[in-house]
A = this chain, B = another copy of it.
Amino acid sequence: MTNSITLNDVARLAGVHAGTVSRALSRPESVSPQTRERVLRAVEELGYVPNLAARQLAGGKSASIAIIVPDITNPFFAAIVHHTQRKARASNRLVLLADSNRSAHEEKEAAASLSRNVDGIIVCAPISSTKTLLSSSKGTPIVFVNKKAEGMSSVIIDQELTVRLAVEHLLELGHKHIAFVPGPRSFWSSRIRLGALAAVIKEYPQLKVTLLKSYEPDFEGGQHCALEIRKAKASGLVAFNDFQALGIITKSISLGMSIPDDLSIVGADGLPFGETMLPSLTTVAAPLREVGEIALDLLDSEINGLESKSVKVSPFLVRRSSTSSLLSGNSS
């Protein structure tokens, strides 16, 4: 913002005109090899860095994208942001970050103020309605992460598979009665998982499933949940996510239970801390890097006017020590 070396300075040094420098930089093949050489050398020598504002104003493209998350402090979103931004930078684009603080209003505001200034927006775990978001972003391409919506590009984690992997893992371990913690009804993924659970259950009529009440998908929610779980008498449990599983585990332990001996617990998300806790957490992990990168790919498609599409990525089971076999007493 402070600096001053302009395209014209480069042009002067290289002995060509500004337009030529611009071309040399954006479409190198459209200038003669020697001109290109000379321009590049001048750029190097002067340490020229393009002024994006000017570029955006003139060209209509900002070479920057935005990503909106409910909370950057949540490792799930941090990981996605990490990978998206890496990939964006690799193609020389800047990324603007907005943290909506889990507020629908702030999310909407962010979308509105960002829309004018970036080529596209990635909204992670959208809180506002699709309609709201669409109208406040006024035509700027958007892709959703973790929510599917009609006519929108989105990358989602296969929730059916998430449920299936968790349940079947417990089944393989010999569990006959499992408990399932549904997520908040307001979450898109909660609704899908509930449907998936019904489908999976149907395939295993011998399995008894207790549907618990819904708890917040965080550590505290898990702690509260732990109280209800004991009553359920299930030997296995599928938590809504890793944070919740962590709460369930620590509370259960302090309640005198032994994990996994008294209760096998499966989390979801695959956050790094699952590996560092005691017991380490068996979880259905989401491929967060893929998610972040695909989101950017989809955004690029949207920016280039291609048709919207939704891609579903597959989670995978990470077997650790919060689950164990009911048969031999061994961990899986």
Partner-B contacts on A (CB < 8 A)? 1-3, 47, 49-54, 56-57, 60-62, 64, 71-73, 75, 78-79, 81-82, 85-86, 89, 92, 94-99, 101, 106, 110, 112-120, 138-141, 219, 246-247, 250, 253-254, 272-273, 276-278
Contact = CB atoms under 8 A, between A and B. Distances in A.
A138 B3 CA distance: 6
Oligomer: number of copies: 2
A57 B62 contact: no
Given A2-B139, A116-B1, A276 B246 contact: yes
Max chain B CB contacts within 10 Å: which of A52, A96, A98? A52
A2 B82 CA distance: 26
19 contacts: A1-B62, A1-B119, A2-B138, A3-B140, A51-B117, A52-B117, A53-B53, A72-B85, A75-B78, A78-B78, A81-B99, A85-B99, A89-B110, A94-B114, A95-B96, A95-B97, A246-B276, A273-B273, A277-B278
B49 A113 contact: yes
Contacts of A82: 71-73, 99
